[in-house]
Amino acid sequence: MNKKNFGLGVFVIALGFAMFLASLGIKDFAAVGVGATFFPRLASMGFVILGALLIIQVLRKPETTGRETDSSEVADTRKKYYSIVQSIVLIVLFLTLLETLGYIICSALYIFFQILVLANEKKKRYVLYGIISVISSLTTYVLFVRVFQVMIPRGILG
């Protein structure tokens, strides 16, 4: 059984029910035709149907004997998910501090640490990464703020 698709089916059905419940709170008045609740309810029904279809598809498929995964593969996946979580945490920190510290400091720090996360097994060249992060942060700032007049949070340096 494809557990992934089965779980997805259950999730999609739950999403449909949640949407239906949320749609009960919509204020609506429509003299003719359908109102503001029509499509949300239709979509929630759609989710339930599609989720059910997905589950039926999974159940109808004959069992396939899964290949045994060895321990090195498991360790690899774990490592991979660890770096994905690290990347998400880094971006969340970047966004949280952006308005107080400002773009230049935040992005330089972010680029530096994100390179370290992505470079995982390579030889870490800290000085090079540091130079790259400072230069690219300054260049993008000057380019976007001065030349293209896009607003960016300046923070404590502004």
Partner 1 sequence: MIVEGIMSVLTVKTISLIFGGTVLGILFGSIPGITVTMGVALFLPITFSMEPVQGLSLLMGLYIGGTSGGLISAVLLNIPGTPASICTCFDGAPLAQQGKAGKALGIGIVFSFLGGMFSLIVLFFVSPWLASVALNFGAYEYFSIGIFSLTLVSTMSGKSFIKGLISALLGFSFTFIGMAPITALPRFTFGFKQLNGGLSLLPILIGLFAVSQLFESSGETEQEVKPIEYSIKGFGFSLKEFVSQKWNFLRSAVIGTGVGILPGLGGAICSVVAYGVAKKQSKYPEKFGTGVIDGIVASETANNASTGGALVPLMTLGIPGDNTTAILLAGFMVHGITPGPLLFENNGVLVYGIFTALVLANIFMIISEFGGMRLFVKVLAVPKHILLPIVITLCVIGSYGLNNRMFDVWTMLFFGVLGFGMKKFDIPSTPLLLGAILGPIIETELRRGLMRSRGSFLPFFTEPISGAILIITILIVLYSALKTFRKASLKKRVQ
Which value, in Å, is the radius of gyration of the alpha carbons in the chain?
24
CA atoms of 119 and 114, how far apart (whole Å): 8
Q: Please say whether the beta carbons of 49 and 9 come within 8 A.
A: no
Q: By CB under 8 A, is residue 152 in contact with partner 1?
A: yes
Q: Which is nearer to partner 1, 72 or 149 (CB)?
A: 149
Q: By CB under 8 A, is residue 14 in contact with partner 1?
A: no
Q: Please say whether the beta carbons of 145 and 158 come within 8 A.
A: no
Q: Would you give the binding string for partner 1 spanning residues 122-151, x where CB under 8 A is met?
A: x------x--xx--xx--x---x---xxxx
Considering the complex, what minimum distance in angstroms separates the CB of residue 46 from partner 1?
5
Q: Would you give the binding string for partner 1 spanning residues 81-100, x where CB under 8 A is met?
A: xxxx-xxx--xx-xx--xx-
Phi and psi, residue 110, nearest 5°: -60, -50
